[in-house]
Structure 1
Amino acid sequence: MTLDGQVAVVTGGTRGAGRGMAIELGAAGATVYVTGRSTRRERSPLGRRETIEETAELVTEAGGRGVAVRCDHMDRQDVRALAARIEDEQDGRLDILVDDTWGGDQWIEWKPLWEHDLDKGLQAVRNGLETHLITLHTLLPLLVRRRGGLVVEITDGDDMFNDRYRGSMFFDMVKVALTRLGKMLKDELDPHGVTSVALTPGFLRSEEMLEHFGVTEETWRDGIAKDRWFAISETPRYIGRAVAALAADPDRARWSGQALSSGVLAKHYGFTDLDGSQPEASRYFAEVYFGDKKDADVADYR
């Protein structure tokens, strides 16, 4: 997989899946604009320590060129400034747009709609959905003008999950909407040679998830004792390799309009997670968590 000379934007690239995708695009040779609100000078409202500068440096270490851009994707002026910077620095070239902003967990309450704080719920919708719409509206013209490229809407769960309630109306609504965005953009982008997909990780071992389980990436298997579903988890680099494989595929248009998972693409393209395994979280949850194979061996899904 080579993306030498290509330009990518990964929104929400500070941590988690965003960081993993930015690094793997860099490893394939791309110049990656990493956007987010957490910088070394100022933390986002989430208050976490990861920064866009760190991610950009990891992109460069991986073999690409990382460019950190402080950008609040709720702020139209910030996003227009990002587009203007790409126009200036890359002559308007944009090949890959990975739309990964979220930051809504702080607003989600796992309770019935009528008991959920309305202001918090609406803020989650703004953080999780409006940011994507603002970003697409502003940056898609760059891809359309080049008549090519890839748009990836990062969501939570493929079509199998979209038939099941996620436990919070606001959370569920945002994630289903993002999946539909990735799929329905096909109708608008296909005539311009741009491929659009929705993509979900499996059970993601993000920095926050590792902390929640009280483990590190080296000791993550200790978390299985707390939650057996953790056994099917994957690193953020796994979905990163999925995006890099899609971007490097000259026949990627075959996927246009589909809701995909990192596990599905791993089987197709042959890449693995960092430990050499190929977690198939979607199939595992369909057959075990929601299905009747309750005693299945998780090794059969890695």
Structure 2
Amino acid sequence: MQGSLTGKVALVAGATRGAGRAIAVELGRSGATVYATGRTTRDQRSEMNRPETIEETAELVTAAGGTGIPVRVDHLERDEVRALVERIGTEHGRLDVLVNDIWGGDIFLAWDRPLWEQSLDKGLRMLRLGIDTHAITSHYALPLLIGEPGGLVVEMTDGTSEFNAHYRADVGFFYDLVKVAVQRMALAQAAELRPHGATAVAVTPGWLRSEAMLDGFGVTEDTWRDALSSQPHFCISESPAFVGRAIAALAVDPDVARWSGQTLSSGHLAQVYGFTDTDGSRPDAWRYITEVQTTGKPADATGYR
């Protein structure tokens, strides 16, 4: 896929770390110019208080073969998003790929607690971070994206449509609502974009080895298997590069419209497009979670990666 996005412009909204960073890098590896946005820079951190920065992401994009452009944007601030899109239009006159990966709500999660026992302020903050940001960004970016045929919008979510058809009580009301809403946003945008020759999909990674997840287990990407002693089902986890490669595969697919409106998983797309994770495997996390983890079977990724 390297070089196949040369001349194309992508906006990865929420590219500071995790899936967003990896998506930006893999789009860059295919030759794209990538605007990497987020709230954490070398001079200022977001409420997440993580060390990763958008400047680092942009540098990784450029090192991979693309052109990385870091822009600090709070995607809840309309004027900042409007200015970002105007800048892309001025500098390039086009937008070919929009990835809405804005989130930042993990710090507000209340595990295994019903709605009435959760903080309403924190819950509503999650809705703003995970839903409003996506709507605001698409509102301003889509007029530029439909200027050229073949545009692609990717709404990043958590969970397949089938899995999210059931309430996820472990993550709670607000998180569940955000991730299902994002899938619906992809469906709605697909319908509105189709007459303009553009496509919208939702994509979910599996159990992601993000920087925060690795820190939570006290491991690194090189030693992640040490976490299996505390959480055996982590055996199905995937690196952020895996979902990054999934988005890059979609972006270069001339027949990407066949997926319009659907929610796709990195594991499924790996089977279709033939890419692998960094270790050469193809973890199919959501099939594993459905068939093994949620049914109470012992952790065993055999046949799932």
In the superposition, the TM-score normalised over structure 1's length comes to 0.97
How many angstroms apart in 1 are the aligned matches of 2:203 and 2:295? 23
Q: Which residue of 2 aligns with 1:192?
A: 196
Match among 46, 49, 56 for residue 47 of structure 1 = 49
Map 1:15-26 onto structure 2 (within 5 A): 15-26=17-28
Q: Is the 8 A contact 1:160 1:286 kept in 2?
A: no
How many angstroms apart in 2 are the aligned matches of 1:138 and 1:266? 31
* Aligned amino acid, residue 95 of structure 1: D
How many angstroms apart in 2 are the aligned matches of 1:261 and 1:187? 20
Q: Is the 8 A contact 2:293 2:299 kept in 1?
A: no
CA displacement 1:140-188 (0-9 Å, x = unmatched): 1111122321000000001122122222100000000001111222111
How many angstroms apart in 2 are the aligned matches of 1:291 and 1:3? 42
Q: Does 1:163 align with 2:144?
A: no
How many angstroms apart in 2 are the aligned matches of 1:68 and 1:269? 29
CA displacement 1:207-263 (0-9 Å, x = unmatched): 000011111111111111110111000000100000000000001111111110000
Q: Is the 8 A contact 1:205 1:233 kept in 2?
A: yes
Instruction: List runs of 5+ in structure 2 lacking aligned partners.
Output: none
Instruction: List runs of 5+ in structure 1 lacking aligned partners.
Output: none
Q: Which residue of 2 aligns with 1:206?
A: 210
Give secondary structure in 2 for the equivalent of 1:298. Answer: coil
Report sequence identity in percent.
60
Number of residues of Structure 1 aligned to a counterpart in Structure 2: 300
Q: Does 1:3 align with 2:10?
A: no
* Aligned amino acid, residue 299 of structure 1: T
- TM-superposed CA distance for 1:288, in Å, is 0.8
* Aligned amino acid, residue 150 of structure 1: L
Q: Is the 8 A contact 1:10 1:35 kept in 2?
A: yes
How many angstroms apart in 2 are the aligned matches of 1:182 and 1:238? 21
* Aligned amino acid, residue 99 of structure 1: N
Q: Does 1:108 align with 2:109?
A: yes
Q: Which residue of 1 aligns with 2:302?
A: 299
* Aligned amino acid, residue 87 of structure 1: G
In the superposition, the TM-score normalised over structure 2's length comes to 0.96
How many angstroms apart in 1 are the aligned matches of 2:300 and 2:129? 38
Map 1:282-297 onto structure 2 (within 5 A): 282-291=286-295, 294-295=297-298, 297=300
- TM-superposed CA distance for 1:295, in Å, is 4.1
Map 1:235-246 onto structure 2 (within 5 A): 235-246=239-250
Q: Does 1:231 align with 2:235?
A: yes
* Aligned amino acid, residue 8 of structure 2: Q
Q: Which residue of 1 aligns with 2:187?
A: 183
How many angstroms apart in 2 are the aligned matches of 1:87 and 1:144? 12
Give secondary structure in 2 for the equivalent of 1:17. Answer: helix
* Aligned amino acid, residue 9 of structure 1: L
- TM-superposed CA distance for 1:291, in Å, is 3.6
CA displacement 1:184-215 (0-9 Å, x = unmatched): 22111111111110000000000000011111
Q: Which residue of 2 aligns with 1:124?
A: 126
Q: Does 1:216 align with 2:220?
A: yes
Q: Is the 8 A contact 1:74 1:134 kept in 2?
A: yes
CA displacement 1:53-95 (0-9 Å, x = unmatched): 000000000000000000000000000010111011102x100
Between stretches 262-271 and 176-185, larger displacement belongs to: 176-185
* Aligned amino acid, residue 252 of structure 1: V
Alpha carbons of 1:212 and 1:188: their partners in 2 closer, same or farther (altered >3 Å)?
Answer: same
Q: Does 1:151 align with 2:124?
A: no
